[in-house]
Amino acid sequence: MNDAPPVTGGAYDFERATSSLAGKLLSSPKKVTIVRHGLSTWNLESRVQGSSNLSVLTETGIIQAEMCRAALSGMHFDQCFASPITRAKSFAEVIWEGREEPIIFLDSLKEAHLFHLEGLRNVDAKANYPEYTMWREEPVNFNVNGVYPIRNLWLTAREAWKEILLSPGENFLVVTHKSILRALICTALGLGPERFRAVDVNNGGISMFDINTRGEAMVQSLNMTAHMYTNHVYH
């Protein structure tokens, strides 16, 4: 007779469980609010961005950051984590302006590295590089010389979750990029990299997660954009 405790959806054995984002018990529940950076120059020009640091926020992107700051003004955050890539870094600095704690920049929140495709207009990449079609249609199998960016992104996302959840505090703000954000959402939900394009997040979109002391995530909201069209303030 199997003496193992019944599985009810909770992580009961951290060495075998796949649902804990922290890998250990947390001292308290956490709330994590994740924001995608605003419109960038390469978004506007329809270029492949990846981990390139050459794309910066447009004037619209800066306005979107200000709108996010206003929308989140009713919420308390203990810390802010952000990608060090310029377009996300600048966006986070606008949102976090006036708060005492410094922004913590994590390499694990950087965007996926897309090698030679970065900087190319999407139309040119599609016309000249067969692997671009793989990136768009079957991203989990997209690879360059045996390196699989999206599969690697899942490992990076799990690392980011641990860095964030094991930090002091209970309420965290995270500012990052679309692909790594997709990986953060999917890893929180237990979805693999084959589901990469099952989730979409708009520029300035806000998603919120509650994390229990076992490190398990519950989605409270996904890709909220009401603040882009109204003066809505989240609480």
The two tokens of residue 25 are 């018990």
- Whether residue 182 is annotated as binding a ligand: the answer is no
Q: Calculate mean pLDDT across residues 93-100.
A: 96
pLDDT of residue 234: 97
Q: Do the beta carbons of residue 174 and residue 33 sit within 8 Å?
A: yes
What are the tens digits of pLDDT across the range 52-87?
A: 999 999 999 999 999 999 999 999 999 999 999 999
Using the predicted structure, report yes or no on whether residue 110 has a pLDDT greater than 90.
Answer: yes
- Whether residue 43 is annotated as binding a ligand: the answer is yes
pLDDT of residue 104: 98
| Type and span of the H or E element at 95 | helix 86-96
What are the tens digits of pLDDT across the range 193-221?
A: 999 999 999 999 999 999 999 999 999 99
Residue 4 pLDDT grade (very low, low, confident, very high; cuts 50, 70, 90) = very low
> To 5 degrees, how large is the angle CA 226–CA 231–CA 235?
75
- Whether residue 36 is annotated as binding a ligand: the answer is yes
Average pLDDT, the chain: 93
Using the predicted structure, report yes or no on whether residue 1 has a pLDDT greater than 80.
Answer: no
pLDDT of residue 8: 43
Residue 19 pLDDT grade (very low, low, confident, very high; cuts 50, 70, 90) = confident
- Whether residue 38 is annotated as binding a ligand: the answer is yes
Q: Comparing C-alpha atoms, which of 154, 167, 143, 168 is closest to residue 196?
A: 154
pLDDT of residue 11: 44
Higher pLDDT, 9 or 37: 37
Angle 178-189/149-165 helices, nearest 10 degrees?
70
In angstroms, the CA 50 to CA 123 distance is 16
Q: Which residues are catalytic?
A: 37, 111
Residue partners of 179: CB distance under 8 A and separation at least 6: 111, 112, 150, 153, 196
> How far separated are the first and last CA of the chain, in Å rounded?
49
- Whether residue 19 is annotated as binding a ligand: the answer is no
- Whether residue 87 is annotated as binding a ligand: the answer is yes
Rounded to two decimals, the pTM is: 0.92
Higher pLDDT, 188 or 15: 188
Using the predicted structure, report yes or no on whether residue 12 has a pLDDT greater than 70.
Answer: no
- Whether residue 41 is annotated as binding a ligand: the answer is yes
